[in-house]
Amino acid sequence: FLQRCIQLLLLPIHVLACLGLWESFYKKVFPYIMAKVAPIYNHKVYKQKQQLLSSLRKFAGPSGQLTLLEIGTGTGTNFQFYPPGCRLTCTDPNPNFRKFLLKSLSENRHLKLEHLVVASGEDLHQIRDGTMDAVVCTLVLCSVTNIHKVLTEVLRVLRLGGAFYFLEHVAADHSSWTYFWQKICDPVWKYFGDGCSLSRETQKELEKINFSELNLRRIHVTPYWIPTSPHIIGYPVK
């Protein structure tokens, strides 16, 4: 009932979406929102990100340089956690993030940008097979159209022995009040979170993909009562 009430309140936006007007408008606005929100979120998960991404160095190639692909780079909030000399390829389907991304690069001179590609995670055909030591994806799998396609592309571009690093908010336990509110808020969240779903079962999708090992743990981001609190963090190896 609550979900239906929310959908009724969202009717004007739904009409704009059906006319193709909402997406074009929000794609321009969303990067400005993320430029404000991303640093706040980064502060909350700083220790977890630092701990997770500090192990990137061990996947560097024989030259000692790390060739890294980030899917859904956005404003570039992960750049500070990448090792010096990292050869970076950035992808994002929204070209309006470009100026924010370049600003972050100017503040992180220890990185070397090799390619900046406007592409969705489901279609990374511009990147050759087995050319990446590591792939990073944070708060992206919640909003992609097809998680399985994204993970299949990740597996394709990774070299044998390479790793896929992720940090994603996910569905809560189905018997919890958090999950109840996730399902209630989903219609609103998708419009204002650029397609983001609060109740994705991302762990199940990761387990279906043919990685050789999966290192994963669950965490909660404060405040614990918000629908985006449940997270998974870790990395599988090809």
Average pLDDT (34-44) is 95
pLDDT of 1 over the 80 cut: no
Own/partner contacts of 18-22, CB < 8 Å, gap of 24 or more, are 22/191
- Read off the pLDDT of residues 223-233 as tens digits, 9 standing for 90 and up: 999 999 999 99
Helical segments of the chain, H only: 2-9, 11-18, 21-44, 46-53, 98-106, 147-157, 177-192, 202-208
Total number of domains constituting the chain: 1
Q: What is the C-alpha to C-alpha distance for residues 167 and 128, in angstroms, rounded to an integer?
A: 24
pTM confidence score: 0.93
Q: What is the domain-level CATH number for residue 102? A: 3.40.50.150
State which residues form the domain around 94: 1-237
Q: What is the CA radius of gyration of the chain?
A: 18
Q: Residue 199's closest CA among 46, 3, 29, 28?
A: 3
Whether residue 72 contacts residue 141, with contact meaning beta carbons closer than 8 Å, is answered with: no
